[in-house]
Amino acid sequence: MTIQTRYAPLNAFLAYLQFEKRYSRHTTTSYANDLTQFFDFIETQYEGLAFQQITGTLVRTWLASMKEEEMSSKSLNRKISSLKSFFKYHIQQGALAKSPMETVISPKVNKRLPSFVTEQDMEQLFTNLAFAEGWKGFTEKLVIHVFYATGMRLSELIQCKETQVDLAKRIIKVIGKGNKERILPISPELASELQLYIQQKPTEAQGNPYLFVTENGKMLQPRAVYSFVKKYLGQVTTLQKKSPHILRHSFATHLMNNGADLNAVKELLGHSSLAATQVYTHNTIDQLKAVFAKAHPKA
């Protein structure tokens, strides 16, 4: 189903994202929200202005109005990115000669190192924590294991189907952002757990193609997964954020801390550029202390 707004130039762009670029509905909706907000501003302030008449000054005026409302630099940059994509599309379609975004400078974002659970805390989670009884506990523990062992995103794990798992080769094919496929290796231990899980699926799950299911045979829901991940992480870490994405951060950080190649981690995470992966090149304080103690003559 096509996402529609009351702005024809925007609708053409959204259809392009949805059906040619094959972006997810969630991503396309994010573009629609950002761009509708911009066009509402233009309509209110400059009634009757065609999108071909929009200038960099008008864009900066809109951005300044949101900055006055204390919108974060990260959010502003996302809106700038949406506008750049919109105008680039219309240049490619021949509706514009050049983009007004050429004179718009993105604000600097203070980069924060991603939070992660320590290796010791992850070990404690799997060895000492008591999970729920029966199928529910089996599912919850295995989901957390897969998150941490593969670095999958929440949407990727929920959408993962049994047919994407090759236990003989010990790999999982993941469909990531932009429908990009990547291959994730899994350990013999995880392969055995997944095999047991698939064999013991409840009869209610017959006909359900998804790898992980509830005790009623239904597909897992994002809110439920977020809830139980937060509950179990809360028992081993004091981190403020306790989400499935923290397990993805932990996966990448632990790989880097143990000497993994940056390009390999990039491929495993499904990042489109190294810049996104380089945030994981930070070292833990414990590691820095260990290096210092070993290498410095006065340590």
Active-site residues, by number, are 153, 177, 245, 248, 271, 280
* Cα–Cα distance measured from residue 191 to residue 199, given in angstroms and rounded to the nearest whole number: 12
Please tell me the distance from the alpha carbon of residue 217 to that of residue 210, in angstroms, as a whole number.
10
Q: Report the SS3 class of residue 173.
A: strand
Amino acid identity at 151:
G
**What is the Cα–Cα distance from 268 to 275, expressed in whole angstroms?**
14
Instruction: Report the distance separating Cα 58 and Cα 100, nearest Å.
Output: 9
CA atoms within 13 A on the CB side of 165: 23
Q: From residue 201, how far is each of 144, 156, 191, 214 by CA, in Å?
A: 18, 20, 15, 9
**Contact, 33 vs 75, CB < 8 A?**
no
Contacts of 96 (CB under 8 A, 6+ apart): 52, 87, 90
Question: Which tokens go with 72?
Answer: 């974060």
Helices (runs of H) and strands (runs of E) counted in the chain: 13, 3
Please check whether residue 282 is in contact with residue 249, taking contact to mean a CB–CB distance below 8 angstroms.
no
Distances (CA, A) of 267 to 13, 40, 116, 184, 283: 29, 39, 20, 9, 20
